Amino acid sequence: MQISKTQILKTKSELQSWSDAERRAGRRVALVPTMGALHRGHIALVALARRYAESVVVSIFVNPTQFNDRRDFEGYPRTLDSDLAACRGAGVDVVFQPSAAEMYPEGASTWVDVDGLTEPLCGANRPGHFRGVSTVVSKLLIAARPDVAVFGEKDYQQLAVIRRMTTDLGFGIRIVGGETVREPDGLALSSRNVRLGTTARRQALCIVESLDLAERMLAGGEHDTAILVEAVRKTLARATQARIDYAELRDPDTLAAVTGRIEGPVLLAIALQFEPDPDGQGSAVRLIDNRVLGRRQAAGPTASCPPERKSERREEFPR
């Protein structure tokens, strides 16, 4: 089946055969894993993938094993028709759209766990979430056999976990992080944003306001972690329909907690749990965002590069 020049493949064996044929033809393959409900942020990842490879695969699979709440899984937006149109418009070569049974056949009992990096932040209150992420990403990488896989930096912890996993297991795949794409008012693009009520959507701007505040404070000479986090939490508290899940300073590489004086670039990671509007508009939505504070000052002209490894600098293209 084809939509324009975009093929739709539904089985791992089909995807493996296609990928093998691409490499035999001398074309590199890039994978962009998604759960669908595509927006401009996903399309930016596709464009980034195209800079690293001649052929691009987008997977669309709402992975049931990474959801802690069945209602969240069932309520996750599914917009396949518009997703396929977006992929076609972006020049995606293949959309991989497997079923749950294809990814988790009956009797499957193997899981991929990454210790350490999965314990703080989102991992603290979402037991099993990263086991589901690591397992499904492993399956997608084995199926697509890409040279490069691209993930968004908005899910910073996920990106760190996947980099650790692929290094530890020797996948030999380059993991590239794409910068967070934002709404005109600064809110990070997310498929969950459409589920916010009007009031919650307005209050959600406190997230980017807190990131901006922390950046200004650090640039202005405030290096005390306690003072900075207190200011961030006060700003987030203005969202009266939200509960702060976390607002923490972490090491950009190890995700270890940073306390005392800030001596270099530091990750500010935030998660808020929003409730529906009082008039019933919207639904419960959890939003995350982050920023590596001090990265511009430390990195100079290469500030847009992911901080994890110098070898991952985006201007160092493999071709």
Q: Is residue 188 part of a domain?
A: no
- 224 in the same domain as 173: no
- 148 in the same domain as 23: yes
Contact 58, 86 (CB under 8 A): no
Report the alpha-carbon distance of residue 21 to residue 239 in Å, rounded.
Answer: 52
- 134 in the same domain as 15: yes
What are the tokens at 215? 């950046």
Q: Is residue 91 part of a domain?
A: yes
Amino acid sitting at position 135: T
Annotated active-site residue in 39, 42, 129, 223: 42
Q: What are phi and psi of 248, to 5 degrees?
A: -135, 155
Tokens 């100079």 locate to 300
Q: Is residue 276 part of a domain?
A: yes
Q: Is residue 187 part of a domain?
A: no
Report the alpha-carbon distance of residue 280 to residue 47 in Å, rounded.
Answer: 38
Domain termination site, one of 181, 201, 233: 181
CATH code for the domain of 272: 3.30.1300.10
DSSP letter at 102 equals: H
Which ranges in the chain belong to alpha helices (H)?
Answer: 12-24, 40-52, 70-75, 80-89, 100-103, 122-125, 129-144, 156-168, 198-203, 205-219, 225-236, 295-299
CATH code for the domain of 124: 3.40.50.620
Task: From first to last of the 319 residues of the chain, give the pLDDT tens digit.
Answer: 344 589 999 999 999 999 999 999 999 999 999 999 999 999 999 999 999 999 999 999 999 999 988 888 998 899 999 999 999 999 999 999 999 999 999 999 999 999 999 999 999 999 999 999 999 999 999 999 999 999 999 999 999 999 999 999 999 999 999 999 999 999 999 999 999 999 999 999 999 999 999 999 999 999 999 999 999 999 999 999 999 999 999 999 999 999 999 999 999 999 999 999 999 999 999 999 999 999 864 443 333 333 333 333 333 334 4
pLDDT at 304: 33
Parent domain of 258 = 193-302
- 125 in the same domain as 6: yes
What is the domain count for the chain? 2
Would you call 42 a catalytic residue per the annotation?
A: yes
DSSP letter at 66 equals: G
Q: Is residue 274 part of a domain?
A: yes
- 168 in the same domain as 42: yes
Amino acid sitting at position 299: A
Report the alpha-carbon distance of residue 178 to residue 45 in Å, rounded.
Answer: 6
- 69 in the same domain as 214: no
Report the alpha-carbon distance of residue 157 to residue 160 in Å, rounded.
Answer: 5
Q: Is residue 315 part of a domain?
A: no
Torsion on CA atoms 38, 206, 130, 309, rounded to nearest 10: 90
pLDDT at 295: 83
Domain termination site, one of 181, 205, 234: 181
- 281 in the same domain as 247: yes
- Can you count the helices (H) and strands (E) in the chain? 12, 10
Domain termination site, one of 140, 156, 181: 181
N residues, the chain: 319
Q: What angle do CA 132, 98, 114 make, to 5 degrees?
A: 20
DSSP three-state, residue 257: strand
Amino acid sitting at position 24: R
